[in-house]
Amino acid sequence: MRSSWSLGVVFIALGGLSVSGIGGHRPIGVVPYVLAGLLVAAGAFLFTKLRASFYAAIAVGALTAVTGVLALVHHPELALPVPPALSIGVGLYLVFRTAIASPAFGGGASKKKGFLP
C-alpha cells in the first residue's frame, strides 16, 4: 500500500469514474471536469516519485473532500457529480493513502540503520 504507482492508478481511476455518471449523476458545468482533470493529473504526476507530486496529491485529495462539503451546503455545481458523502470519503481516503505512501517520495530524513553513526 506504500507504492506511488498504485496510488497514481487510484487517483486516475477515481478521477475518471467521478465524471462518468455513477448512479445517474451528471456533471453540472465545467468545475467537475476540472476537478476530475486535477485528479488524473495528480495521479500521473505521482508516477514520477518527486516530492512535489506528494504535495500535489495531498492538495488535490483535500480539494476533493472540500468540494464534497460544498455540495452538502447546496452548491453541487462546485463538486464532483457523486453524492457529497462519497466525495468527502474519497478525498479523505486519498489524503490518508498519500500520507501512508510518503516514504516512497524523495526528501525526508536520511535512513540510518541502527543507533550508532
Among candidates 96, 7, 106, 1, which has minimal Cα distance to 49?
A: 106
Kindly list the domain boundaries of the chain, sorted by start residue. 4-103
At residue 3, the pLDDT reads 77
CB neighbours (10 Å) of residue 25?
A: 17
Residue appearing with cell numbers 472540500: 66
Question: How many residues are present in the chain?
Answer: 117
Which pLDDT tens digit goes with each residue over 8-42? 998 999 888 887 766 677 778 888 899 999 999 99
CB 79 within 8 A of CB 67: yes
pLDDT at 5: 84
Residues of the chain with pLDDT under 50: none
pTM (2 d.p.):
0.83
